[in-house]
A and B are shown apart, each in its own frame.
Chain A
Amino acid sequence: MSDTQALDHIATWRAAGHKAALATVIQTWGSSPRPAGSHMAINAKGEFVGSVSGGCIEGAVIEAAREVMATGQPKTLEFGVTNEMAWDVGLACGGKVRVFVEAVE
């Protein structure tokens, strides 16, 4: 799954009249699994393609994407060991990432 394929999925979902959101890794610190620019596409049904980590935070990103699709307001999420949510959805690798989530409309 290349990152541009995530964009293609969004275009397909939009063309079919579905809501869609794009999540993108914008900054990383330490040993995070996916570099800046990595994309994950999410639709209103919670289907997703691509990844923004090794699978550690995708669930939380999908949740945020639902909210972003509902409000149309973009959101920047931060995950890492210093985050208060670390014990729930932090990165086991000890890295830190910022993920930008936007609706495509």
Chain B
Amino acid sequence: MKSSLLTELQSRIAAKHSCALVTETITGAQAIVGGGGTAGALVLSPESLGHINRLIAADKSSVIDGTNLFVRVYSPSPRMVIVGAVHIAQSLVPLAQLAGFETIVIDPRGAFLSANELAGATAIEEWPDEGMTKVKADARTAVVTLTHDPKLDDPALAAALRSPAFYIGALGSRKTHEKRLLRLRGEGFNETELARIHGPVGLDINAVSPAEIAVSIVAQVIDELRADTK
């Protein structure tokens, strides 16, 4: 690889553009596709470009069958939006980061945001509906509510349900969740939409401590993120 092409690749990755480094593995000739025009010496046929763009969309690195072309796809990190800078968030933030997620914590209570150690997370001190507008949840975003407080959780869940977020989870017991669903039905969400919410949140691993609950949440989020690779 040419150093200049590496620099270009790094700048597209840093700008959080989905892109691919395409390598002809016999000669080593390369091109970058996506995230701002094609760069590099490797000339690609329209057919190959079609394959490459599909792989970028699927976030899948692969050899193109019947060719010597290897496509290495770089996608921005998936994001986890955590609503509530509560105790569990202290465990959830580092664990999610370790698993490759960019973490964002929304809480209007500034004292919670500063009291709890959330190193490395982007803190948004706003009401969840405003915070969620800022975040713009997309298909690579997970939204997890942790406050138990309907006036904080509900607006965040409503915003998440109106977004293409790949995962929505809400902390709370079965009973709490039933009441929550009742309120959200009242806001006009139907059963198919409400079925997107994982409640109680996390895989059932009999988690007790905040760290264990964080493990169960991250495990369930990964399960959804990778669902189409099975």
Q: Which residues does A use to contact B, with CB under 8 Å? A: 2, 4, 7-8, 10-11, 14, 22, 24, 26-27, 35-37, 73-74, 76, 100, 102-105
Contact = CB atoms under 8 A, between A and B. Distances in A.
Contacts of A105: 1-3
Contacts of A76: 25
Query: For A22, A24, A26, A100, which residue has the most chain B Cβ atoms within 10 angstroms?
Result: A26
Contacts of A100: 23, 25, 70
A36 B61 contact: yes
Given A26-B63, A36-B62, A100-B70, A11 B25 contact: no
B6 A11 contact: yes
Nearest to B1: A104
A102 B28 contact: yes
Contacts of B27: 74
Contact of A24 (B2, B7, B70, B100): B70
Contacts of B74: 4
A104 B63 CA distance: 21
Nearest to A73: B28
A102 B25 CA distance: 9
A95 to B, nearest CB: 16
B3 A74 contact: no
Interface in B64-81: 70, 72-74
Interface of B: 1-3, 6-7, 9-10, 13, 23, 25, 27-28, 61-63, 70, 72-74, 100
B73 A11 contact: no
Contact of A7 (B9, B25, B70): B9
A26 B25 contact: yes
A72 to B, nearest CB: 9
A76 B61 CA distance: 16
Contact of B61 (A8, A10, A37, A104): A37
Given A26-B63, A100-B23, 9 more contacts: A2-B100, A4-B13, A7-B6, A26-B25, A36-B62, A36-B63, A37-B73, A102-B23, A105-B2
A5 to B, nearest CB: 11
A7 B28 CA distance: 17
A26 B70 contact: yes
A10 B6 contact: yes
Contacts of A8: 10
A90 to B, nearest CB: 21
Contacts of A24: 23, 70, 72
